[in-house]
Structure 1
Amino acid sequence: MVKAMVRLALNWLEDETFFSICSRQHVYLCSIDSAATSEWLFGTTKKYVHDFNYNLGALNKLTTHWGTPESIINEHTIAPFFFSFQSKKNVLAAKEALLGPRLGSLKYRLGLLTNRFGAEHPLKACIACMVCDRIRVGVAYWHLSHQYPGVTICPVHGLYLRESTKNRQWSGQFEWLLPEEEDLLPVPRVETTATTRKVLEDLVDAIIGLSSFGCQRVFDPSAVNAVYRTALAQYGERRSGQEAAASALWLHISGLQAYQPFSCMPRSPDEAVTFLRGLVRSPRGHVHPLKHLTLITWLFGSVAAFIKLHDQIVNSYTPSKKVSPGLVSPVNRVKEINSSSDEIFKAARRPKILKKDIRAAILLRLSQGQSKYSLCEDFGITISTINKLMRSEPSVANAWKEKTISNEKFKRRSIWENTVKTFSKDSAKQIRCRLPAVYVWLYRNDREWLTSRLRGLPNGRIGNHSAVDWSKRDLHLLEALKSTADNLLKSHELPLKKKQIYLALPRLVSALQKRQAYGLTRSFLQEITTSVQKGSGSASAGGSTEAIQSS
């Protein structure tokens, strides 16, 4: 009886996703609807998602032969693809979220909401794989290797993958489903050069390789940064070198924009400069893995070559905090100033009674702010004698203190200003990291001056909403929408349906969620979905966006 119950849960197929086995289970159970299957699987009928499979800790006990929740995450979901460039702490937190009853802010913490690649991961299938699966196991199912973001080509058959119209943001309710030809979008009609095809294939291999690596361990952020900088050193370290590297990168990826989710890739060498700087600056989280893989496949050809260099640095080199050869470290300069102006007086001398002329000379030089240790050297006395003398002359002590602080301000201000001139492109945070001791001293003793200088430095933010040219994005999206509408009007009439447009241009949905942006695109979308050409009751097939605008 127990064995019969265990057989209620199906077994894994090769390269199968968790969503796929649940969908096959849905068919096997002959459930009335998707909610019934969700209740059987997790004990709840709440809405689910197909990409980040959560609530795994509540899986039906009849599915124990599927493996532990962690093995399901590592071997049957796309989650490990996002782990490699995260900290161990973030990976553990992500796995805990996938075990629990809600995702929370997981997509934000993994960098999906801030990197323009999109947080939606449509189901994808290869027509040839579907045919082979039906012959081999009797049913077509969702392959894990197809579902990773950025995988556009089947790694087995070399065919372009087709996206499903089901379980999309605009398609209605969630469903447990298996791939069917009628649910798949046609392959985009794009003229692909041999060079772009090779880039896409290299990215597919890199994505799958990175996913395997993410199941084992994570990269060291400092080592990643060091590998990038070492590889890019061939272009030079000055601004001209950065621009040359960015131009070469742009030529490498210029054909990717026609494919999802690479439509956000740089469209000019200037945008490539910003893209590149975001990867080679100080290590930070919330960077989409596809950004890293774009750079890795360009510089190293494969993830394996990158991992080899990364491990060499981790095993034999700790990224140094020293500055480039030929430049004097500002921190060392502070130490030199302190050691030269306040050199420790090691020779022990006994306190003595001072003659009036010597006492007067010492008091004069103290009032001018001269170092105590230099006075000890010049007059052969101890620090104790000078301290007693200053206590007996409060006015001199106050003058010495004010003069000393003034001198120190001048020295540290000079160091700060010289460093800002040397590293003119650095943000306030980067300058602060170069001069931690100077920054702390100025913050405590000269805060007003420091604050005024910090306001004049770059804020260091690249991306998010600080440097986004929304007008430019609007024009790019409008151009894509016009092209899509032209293709649809070859076989449809005005007004077009929004669902038709969303099917043909999936990124339009996520873009329009930014309600304050894309004014031109919204107006044109409204026009082609509600209006018809003047002079006729409807537009005939074969119309164009130019005709729409002229009307």
Structure 2
Amino acid sequence: MIFFPNLYKDELLFSALARYFKYSGDENKKDFMLEIFNSSSTCASTIFPTNLKNLCEKLPSPNAYSTDYIINNHTLLPYYSPFLANDRASKLRETMKNEDGKNIFMKSGRTASTVKNEKKLKYCLSCVDEEKQTKGECYWHRSHQIEGVKVCPIHKTWLVESLIPFTERKHKHEFISLEDSIREADLSSIDINLKTEFKHFLYVAEQTEHLLNRSFKPLGLENLKNFYTSKLNKRQLVTLGGRIRWEKLIPKFNAYYGKQLLETLDSYIYPNKSDTWIHKLLRKPRVSCHPLRHILFLGFLGETIASMVIQIDTKSYKPFGDGPWICLNKAADHFHQPIVTSCVITRDYKSGHPIGTFSCSCGFVFSRRGPDKTFNDQYKIGRKKEFGIVWEDKLVELALKGLSLRKMADLLGVDPMTIKKKLTIKVEHKQSNNSFEKEKEEKKQNYRNQWIKMMIINEEETIKDIRLQNQKVYMWLYRNDKEWLKINSPTIQKGNRNNSVLKVNWKKRDADMVARVESIVSNILKEKKPLIKVTKNEIGRRLGILSSLYKNCYNLPMTLKVVNQSLETTEQFQERRIRNVVREMRKTNPSIKEWQVIRATGLKKKNAVKLKRVIIREIYGMN
């Protein structure tokens, strides 16, 4: 290489190589691959480029970059690394440096994930305008290409989808620059419901950008699971025995984002399923989970990548010693006894000191700044966050005895104004509760009446059919009046249950596909610009069943037979290309030379010799 363009901030390596390909003027894609990677078989990968060691060795010295620098700043590996096992992340990095990448998706866990790849490369119009003014050209950003990223994290605007496929390109050795791909933006196709969830998409984009630009080391699957469990415990979504309350967690998670958004991100969790991605995330870790799902779960917990990393890093550091810790609730019988088992450590953003938040089973929650330096530090309270039911019951008991505010404050360990405020809230809360209970009772009776009416109208239907008449009524009763609903519902007939898994009629699909294959092959042969070879992949893409031709081929015997019979060999494709070129040249040039045909078809020397008789036959019209 005589020169190589400078890599821009957040630029995908694919983008930099596309710019270099454009500048070099090289028209042969395989020759270009041979020049930069020392291998003509290396693919133009957008996710995990390989053979980077060969690339770095060929770079001119003023522009030299190390392999680790390119991986950390211009590939998508930093997005996946924190959520992989340590040895797997290291092997993945080594593969990108030295190998051809045949098993790289298997090592990263992408092939097992149900989160689908983005279909097209994306870009931000604001980024394009800004870069053209400052740099004179625009480029593909790596933070725009991640699954689930629909918004630019810098300009907070919707991304535009280009026409360039993200992975399944026809020409796997082709690099395409953003400059050659910009089209008129059409954002009107974005669903109005998704626009209302802009804040969630922005959160995903910002957390993705944070992952890419910090190069975190693997956080440890066990550490991640323990962190999530501790956060769920704080939300009372974990039992005292450590069991996840799935019946509450899953509906809360789905409701937080909404079904449409989660389905768009391939992460909706269907109720009553017991082996979903969220189960794998929170049970004993055996497999890695897609980073997008970690981000979604963090958002649900009210956390960020930054806050999670800080708390996981501080887990081995014990500024408050080992638990259990002392409860400082003066209203409890266990006051000054070591029964507190929950201590969440965060950092003071001003001083950087650790802050411990202690939660006791009596409901008393307090915090203090650490670390503890002396024995007496464990008896200090920095801030009381929640008093709990035990403390509040004691307050009511003391108030009924007619004690003064000061005396109650001394017995409960607070100041008199806190006592006064809490007693006022108690009175207001009692009045509010009475009103709320009355309103809830009226609402319950209304929903019961509606359900009874639906039962009468649909007396011969199952509970499933009745609930579809009005999902709102059923769900409210299910959540708030479950026992009554159970008694006042029709008995489900086992024989009428539908199988939730739809079975594919492979025989019918096989017969339908045979006719379509013949039509597709005919269309491919008729296309002139560009001329496309009849391959199994091309037929499968146009049929929309590419994966089935490989994974379920035993279910499609007739289709597979017709496909195999229709395939073109390389020599047949070259002959068709020669015929097409000669036919086009005759329109403008009656006298055609042999060398002109060879140049126009791009045949290599050995192939030109092999096909010489075909070229002569087409030029002179000989049999």
Give the TM-score of the pair, scaled to structure 1: 0.54
Query: Does residue 137 of the first structure (1) align with residue 135 of the second (2)?
Result: yes
Match of 2:256 in 1: 252
Q: 1:62 aligns with which of 34, 59, 63?
A: 59
Instruction: Spell out the pairing of 1:254-403 with structure 2 (5 A cutoff).
Output: 254-255=258-259, 257=261, 262=265, 264-266=266-268, 268-271=270-273, 274-316=276-318
1:217 CA displacement: 1.6
Rounded to whole Å, the distance in 1 between the matches of 2:184 and 2:106 is: 28
How large is the Cα RMSD of the aligned pairs? Answer: 3.9
The aligned amino acid for 2:190 is R
Residues 81 and 112 (structure 1), Cα distance of their counterparts in 2 relative to 1, 3 Å cut: same
1:273 CA displacement: 7.8
Match of 2:203 in 1: 202
Question: Contact 1:243–1:273 at 8 Å: present in 2 too?
Answer: no
Question: Contact 2:211–2:305 at 8 Å: present in 1 too?
Answer: yes
Query: Does residue 37 of the first structure (1) align with residue 35 of the second (2)?
Result: no
1:29 CA displacement: 0.6
Instruction: Spell out the pairing of 1:106-505 with structure 2 (5 A cutoff).
Output: 106-119=104-117, 122-168=120-166, 171-174=169-172, 175-179=174-178, 180-181=180-181, 186-187=186-187, 188-192=189-193, 196-213=197-214, 215-233=215-233, 234-238=235-239, 241-255=245-259, 257=261, 262=265, 264-266=266-268, 268-271=270-273, 274-316=276-318, 471=502
The aligned amino acid for 2:68 is E
Structure 1 stretches lacking a partner, 5+ long = 326-467, 475-501, 524-551
Match of 1:51 in 2: 47
Rounded to whole Å, the distance in 2 between the matches of 1:271 and 1:42 is: 47
Q: Any idea what SS the aligned residue of 1:124 has?
A: strand
Rounded to whole Å, the distance in 2 between the matches of 1:267 and 1:236 is: 17
Which whole-Å deviations, capped at 9, do the CAs of 1:181-216 have from their partners, x for residues lacking one? 556885443113566211111111111222334x24
Query: Does residue 21 of the first structure (1) align with residue 16 of the second (2)?
Result: yes
The aligned amino acid for 1:31 is D
Residues 58 and 170 (structure 1), Cα distance of their counterparts in 2 relative to 1, 3 Å cut: closer
Question: Contact 2:254–2:262 at 8 Å: present in 1 too?
Answer: no
Question: Contact 2:149–2:204 at 8 Å: present in 1 too?
Answer: yes
The aligned amino acid for 1:196 is E
Equivalenced residues, count? 339
Q: 2:101 aligns with which of 88, 100, 103?
A: 103
Question: Contact 1:153–1:201 at 8 Å: present in 2 too?
Answer: yes
Which whole-Å deviations, capped at 9, do the CAs of 1:297-331 have from their partners, x for residues lacking one? 210331112122212223339999xxxx9xxxxxx
Rounded to whole Å, the distance in 1 between the matches of 2:118 and 2:164 is: 12
Rounded to whole Å, the distance in 2 between the matches of 1:123 and 1:48 is: 13
* More helix by percentage: 1
Rounded to whole Å, the distance in 1 between the matches of 2:120 and 2:304 is: 25
Match of 2:4 in 1: 9
Q: Any idea what SS the aligned residue of 1:192 has?
A: helix
Residues 303 and 170 (structure 1), Cα distance of their counterparts in 2 relative to 1, 3 Å cut: closer
Match of 2:71 in 1: 73
Rounded to whole Å, the distance in 2 between the matches of 1:224 and 1:90 is: 16
Structure 2 stretches lacking a partner, 5+ long = 324-338, 340-498, 506-537, 560-623
Aligned identity (percent) is 20
Question: Contact 2:51–2:97 at 8 Å: present in 1 too?
Answer: yes
Rounded to whole Å, the distance in 2 between the matches of 1:54 and 1:257 is: 34
Question: Contact 1:35–1:45 at 8 Å: present in 2 too?
Answer: yes
Give the TM-score of the pair, scaled to structure 2: 0.48
Rounded to whole Å, the distance in 2 between the matches of 1:182 and 1:302 is: 33
Which whole-Å deviations, capped at 9, do the CAs of 1:55-83 have from their partners, x for residues lacking one? 00111523452410111000111111110
Question: Contact 1:83–1:218 at 8 Å: present in 2 too?
Answer: yes
1:176 CA displacement: 1.1
Rounded to whole Å, the distance in 2 between the matches of 1:258 and 1:184 is: 28
Rounded to whole Å, the distance in 1 between the matches of 2:208 and 2:70 is: 19
Residues 146 and 120 (structure 1), Cα distance of their counterparts in 2 relative to 1, 3 Å cut: closer
Residues 15 and 307 (structure 1), Cα distance of their counterparts in 2 relative to 1, 3 Å cut: same
1:170 CA displacement: 5.1
